[in-house]
Amino acid sequence: MSEPEDAEIAIVAHNTLNRLLLMGLLGGEARDYRRIVQDNACMNVIEYTEMNGVRIHAINRVFTS
């Protein structure tokens, strides 16, 4: 079975895991993870490609009606 060339996934997690992941992607120290704000039901948009690596499009995006 071959892997798709393009794939989109959603990771649904609590704010501590989100903060740790984002801090790592931003090159920060894990001990500083609380410096990143994560509101309830927010969305972070992260893109990864082998050619360009990680690109963060949005952090703590909250949608309102």
pLDDT by position in tens, the chain (length 65): 676 667 888 999 999 999 999 999 999 999 999 999 999 999 999 999 889 999 999 999 998 77
What is this structure's pTM? 0.80
- SS3 category, 24: helix
Query: What pLDDT does 63 receive?
Result: 83
Closest Cα partner for 46 from 32, 56, 34? 56
Give the number of other CB atoms < 10 A from CB of residue 60: 14
